[in-house]
């Protein structure tokens, strides 16, 4: 997809647009308006996929087309739109010509539940562990095979990518990461012991292993974006740098600007 980096060349190749919309009246009205103006190519033939909705739809679309080489351009027709551009029907092809394409890499998660079954999922935003009952979770955390926390007593914890650092991670008081930072954020959720531990910034090349202590007495679920696995015994994750999801942002409001805006929000 190197041609996409050249605006002049991209102007020639973004003629086939495919649209996908969330199941809301606002998104479907936009779908009808844009289809009338630009047509609606088959997904497999599209040069750009335009997602109409909120961040949830954008994540679903990115998951569906990870590694495909097809960039996704979101327009906000939902309640949350950090990953989305402003909705305007006119001048869409011109906006796509000058839009910035940003590659993002998913986390790959492997979970073993307490019956021994193995589950796999990918996350663009974060992998999170959460207690399932009133009992606090007890977790042992290792990084690249070395135990870093013998016991974290908490409501849960999460590992966020830079793309996901402004989502659940930020709500859990984790750090915001610039998109191109080679880092992952490991953030506790309501840590009880060690009470003052606030998490860690990890190189994005590491493998993180989390063992659930007392998994039957203190059951824990794992989520990779929208995919949830319950009754976790242990979890491993790493960033898969060989898989790209391509996100497009308007040139006057790219990802770096969005990150800076969040950092200085009060």
Helix or strand holding residue 182 (H, E): none
CA distance 99 to 255: 11
Sign of torsion, CA 188 190 192 196? positive
Of 191, 208, 223, the residue nearest 125 (C-alpha):
223
CA distance 231 to 113: 5
Strand, coil or helix: 183: strand
- Which residues belong to the annotated binding site? 55-56, 125-126, 155, 163, 166-171
CA dist 130 → 26, 93, 249 (Å): 33, 43, 32
Query: Within a 13 Å sphere around the CA of 169, how many CA atoms are in the beta-carbon half?
Result: 26
The two tokens of residue 261 are: 């805006």
Strands 126-131 and 100-104: unpaired
Active-site residue among 23, 36, 55, 231? Answer: 55
Note if 244 is an active site residue: no
Alpha helices in the chain (DSSP H): 7-13, 25-38, 55-64, 92-98, 168-171, 255-263
Task: Write out the E strands in the chain.
Answer: 17-21, 48-53, 72-76, 100-104, 107-113, 118-123, 126-131, 137-143, 146-154, 156-160, 183-189, 200-203, 207-213, 220-224, 227-229, 232-239, 245-249
Of 26, 67, 20, the residue nearest 41 (C-alpha):
20
- Which residues belong to the annotated binding site for NAD(+)? 55-56, 125-126, 155, 163, 166-171
Which of the residues are catalytic? 55
């Amino acid at each position: 997809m190197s041609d996409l980096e050249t605006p002049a060349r991209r102007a020639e190749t973004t003629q086939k647009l495919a649209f996908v919309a969330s199941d809301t009246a606002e998104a479907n009205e936009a779908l009808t308006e844009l289809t009338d103006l630009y047509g609606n190519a088959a997904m497999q033939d599209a040069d750009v996929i335009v997602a109409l909705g909120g961040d949830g739809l954008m994540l679903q679309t990115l998951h569906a087309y990870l590694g495909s080489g097809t960039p996704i351009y979101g327009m906000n027709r939902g309640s949350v739109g950090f990953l989305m551009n402003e909705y305007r029907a006119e001048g869409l092809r011109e906006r796509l010509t000058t839009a910035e394409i940003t590659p993002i890499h998913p986390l790959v998660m492997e979970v073993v539940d307490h019956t021994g079954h193995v589950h796999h999922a990918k996350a663009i935003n974060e992998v999170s562990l959460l207690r399932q009952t009133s009992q606090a979770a007890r977790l042992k955390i290792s990084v690249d095979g070395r135990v870093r926390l013998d016991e974290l007593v908490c409501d849960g914890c999460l590992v966020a990518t830079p793309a996901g650092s402004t989502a659940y991670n930020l709500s859990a008081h984790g750090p915001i990461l610039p998109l191109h930072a080679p880092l992952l954020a490991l953030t506790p959720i309501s840590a009880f012991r060690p009470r003052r531990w606030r998490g860690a910034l990890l190189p994005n090349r590491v493998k993180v292993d989390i063992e659930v202590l007392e998994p039957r007495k203190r059951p824990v679920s794992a989520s990779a974006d929208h995919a949830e696995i319950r009754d976790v015994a242990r979890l491993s994750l790493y960033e898969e740098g060989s898989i790209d999801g391509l996100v497009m942002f308007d040139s006057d409001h790219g990802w770096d600007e969005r990150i800076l805006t969040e950092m200085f929000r009060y």
